[in-house]
Chains A and B, each alone.
Chain A
């Protein structure tokens, strides 16, 4: 894909859903219905939350629910993308092809021509109510994919707390960074701050799509949003409830942002060696 072939403007559908736990069929139906709705509303890309395929609080059942990528679910989403001409991003537990019980928390990007790529969550929260390291192996690669819709980077939820993940994603070329999430309500203010911060410091669009609903007492706060490269809220979904919002990414805005907030121009590579050195000594 040549960069010149990509669109200057694309339309996103932030599909903020509450997943039914352990019911992939029901969740896939929701993904299908909302992808068609996104298509009807002129969107190019429909984005669903972290673990939207299975629900987030499923604990030991991850071992039963995980699938390889490609695998049966991705094939269904590929067919959906082909039928609608849409791009789709969703979250699922990914089973390693080489083992029987090694699982990743993965974001999948599918386009009309099939699977484009995947991202395995690098930072797995295992504190407070979170127990992701118990179940998942972390990813080791950031992800930025050149597509018909521009260069799209992927990250997941807690990754937002680590600027280096999104910085690297941006340096790989991502101009739209999609963060899918399953964030409980008590942490809302952190995410509202960090989504803006990560967008500004990278002068990139940041689309954040969070779960809604309640799972085992955890109330997911929704609040999905598209943040501009200068940190402005372009669109915002309702708090707490299922919602569906469309919004436009105008890549032309990145040039204006980069000249006004030239963080990439001013980047100091030598600091990263020091970061590595001192983080090892913490």
Chain B
């Protein structure tokens, strides 16, 4: 297999159709009144918002913008509004600052300089907002995780990964960017640097230490059981880079799974209790 960017090419009309069908059928079968999602102004949530609107109509999609004062970014809010307007989404801004302050003050050992732990509170607080609205309005919570970040474990456990459906989780970031442009999301937004927005000036590529164009091809090779040496040779990069990506991918499987229990019974939840997710 030749590992070039062409392997990530897709028929984006077909991709759009299949994802929209997935969203529509899920919402209908769950007898839900629509979708609630977080709209950050970034590429992943913009794409999921657009797909949701195309699937079930913007009137049935509530986009929450969840800024907070430490990491406030007016441009992100404006970008989110562009998407909300273009795809005719219901939308609401909820300033999380007071809630976050409450957490910071209420945790006896809270350490403000520990930005990772603090940032994870933000991701989990967003989840609480989304599920509150989902619960209150009988809506499905729609997540925005993509395949690159999910494989790398680049997300907050029970935070941004917490959702009922994740329509773009089987698309690599570079594929999401192209799908976004196909959907009519402005190019400027589609190509701006991704960030989890947990602290100021945070960017995904800086933290991951690799460009998505390279990362996605490495992950694509790993997905297809290619050896690290072969991937490195094909991409003309040092094998240690591929090994590092592989190690991170494997080390984070615990973040992608439900909690584990010691096997005690006849059939065990999350293990050999194999049931359909729904009965429809």
Chain A residues with CB under 8 Å of chain B are 20-23, 55, 57-61, 131, 134, 185, 213-217, 219, 240
| Minimal Cβ-Cβ distance residue in A for B23 | A214
**Could you tell me the distance between the alpha carbons of A221 and B180 in the complex, rounded to whole angstroms?**
24
Complex interface: chain A residues within 8 A of B274 (CB): 59-60, 131, 134
**Could you tell me the distance between the alpha carbons of A114 and B273 in the complex, rounded to whole angstroms?**
38
* Contact, CB under 8 Å: B276 / A215: yes
Interface residues of B in 1-37 (CB under 8 A from A): 17-18, 21-22, 25-26
Chain B residues with CB under 8 Å of chain A are 17-18, 21-22, 25-26, 267, 273-280
Q: What are 21 contact pairs spanning A and B, CB under 8 A?
A: A21-B279, A23-B279, A58-B276, A59-B274, A59-B275, A59-B276, A60-B275, A61-B275, A61-B276, A131-B274, A134-B274, A185-B18, A214-B26, A215-B276, A216-B277, A216-B278, A219-B18, A219-B21, A219-B22, A240-B17, A240-B18
**Could you tell me the distance between the alpha carbons of A216 and B278 in the complex, rounded to whole angstroms?**
7
| Minimal Cβ-Cβ distance residue in B for A60 | B274
Output the least CB separation between B130 and chain A (Å): 20
Selected from A131, A213, A216, the residue in CB contact (under 8 A) with B276 is A216
| Minimal Cβ-Cβ distance residue in B for A58 | B276
Output the least CB separation between A219 and chain B (Å): 6
**Could you tell me the distance between the alpha carbons of A103 and B276 in the complex, rounded to whole angstroms?**
18
Complex interface: chain A residues within 8 A of B17 (CB): 240
Complex interface: chain B residues within 8 A of A60 (CB): 267, 273-275
Output the least CB separation between A238 and chain B (Å): 12
Output the least CB separation between A16 and chain B (Å): 15
**Could you tell me the distance between the alpha carbons of A61 and B273 in the complex, rounded to whole angstroms?**
10
**Could you tell me the distance between the alpha carbons of A55 and B274 in the complex, rounded to whole angstroms?**
15
Main secondary structure of the interface of B (DSSP, over half): loop
Complex interface: chain B residues within 8 A of A20 (CB): 280
* Contact, CB under 8 Å: A21 / B280: yes
| Minimal Cβ-Cβ distance residue in A for B277 | A216
* Contact, CB under 8 Å: A214 / B25: yes
Selected from B21, B273, B275, B279, the residue in CB contact (under 8 A) with A214 is B21
**Could you tell me the distance between the alpha carbons of A23 and B279 in the complex, rounded to whole angstroms?**
8
| Minimal Cβ-Cβ distance residue in B for A221 | B18
**Could you tell me the distance between the alpha carbons of A219 and B277 in the complex, rounded to whole angstroms?**
14
| Minimal Cβ-Cβ distance residue in A for B14 | A185
**Could you tell me the distance between the alpha carbons of A139 and B278 in the complex, rounded to whole angstroms?**
29
Output the least CB separation between A258 and chain B (Å): 38
* Contact, CB under 8 Å: B25 / A213: yes
**Could you tell me the distance between the alpha carbons of A21 and B279 in the complex, rounded to whole angstroms?**
5
Complex interface: chain A residues within 8 A of B277 (CB): 216
Complex interface: chain A residues within 8 A of B278 (CB): 21, 216
Complex interface: chain B residues within 8 A of A131 (CB): 274
Complex interface: chain B residues within 8 A of A58 (CB): 276
Output the least CB separation between B224 and chain A (Å): 12
Complex interface: chain A residues within 8 A of B275 (CB): 59-61
Complex interface: chain B residues within 8 A of A57 (CB): 276
Output the least CB separation between A54 and chain B (Å): 10
Instruction: Identify the 6 closest CB pairs spanning chains A and B, nearest first.
Output: A59-B274, A214-B25, A60-B274, A216-B277, A22-B279, A58-B276
Of the listed residues B17, B26, B267, B279, the one surrounded by the most CB atoms of chain A closer than 10 A to its CB is B279
**Could you tell me the distance between the alpha carbons of A185 and B19 in the complex, rounded to whole angstroms?**
12
Output the least CB separation between A109 and chain B (Å): 28
Output the least CB separation between B109 and chain A (Å): 40
Output the least CB separation between A275 and chain B (Å): 28
Output the least CB separation between B128 and chain A (Å): 26
Complex interface: chain B residues within 8 A of A134 (CB): 274
| Minimal Cβ-Cβ distance residue in B for A214 | B25
**Could you tell me the distance between the alpha carbons of A23 and B25 in the complex, rounded to whole angstroms?**
17
**Could you tell me the distance between the alpha carbons of A213 and B280 in the complex, rounded to whole angstroms?**
10
* Contact, CB under 8 Å: B22 / A217: yes
**Could you tell me the distance between the alpha carbons of A185 and B21 in the complex, rounded to whole angstroms?**
12
Complex interface: chain A residues within 8 A of B279 (CB): 21-23
**Could you tell me the distance between the alpha carbons of A145 and B89 in the complex, rounded to whole angstroms?**
57
**Could you tell me the distance between the alpha carbons of A4 and B278 in the complex, rounded to whole angstroms?**
50
Complex interface: chain B residues within 8 A of A217 (CB): 22
| Minimal Cβ-Cβ distance residue in A for B25 | A214
Complex interface: chain B residues within 8 A of A22 (CB): 276, 279
**Could you tell me the distance between the alpha carbons of A22 and B26 in the complex, rounded to whole angstroms?**
17
**Could you tell me the distance between the alpha carbons of A22 and B279 in the complex, rounded to whole angstroms?**
6
| Minimal Cβ-Cβ distance residue in A for B272 | A60
* Contact, CB under 8 Å: B273 / A240: no
Output the least CB separation between B61 and chain A (Å): 19
| Minimal Cβ-Cβ distance residue in B for A59 | B274
**Could you tell me the distance between the alpha carbons of A185 and B15 in the complex, rounded to whole angstroms?**
11
Of the listed residues A23, A61, A131, A214, the one surrounded by the most CB atoms of chain B closer than 10 A to its CB is A214
Complex interface: chain A residues within 8 A of B22 (CB): 214, 217, 219
Complex interface: chain B residues within 8 A of A214 (CB): 21-22, 25-26
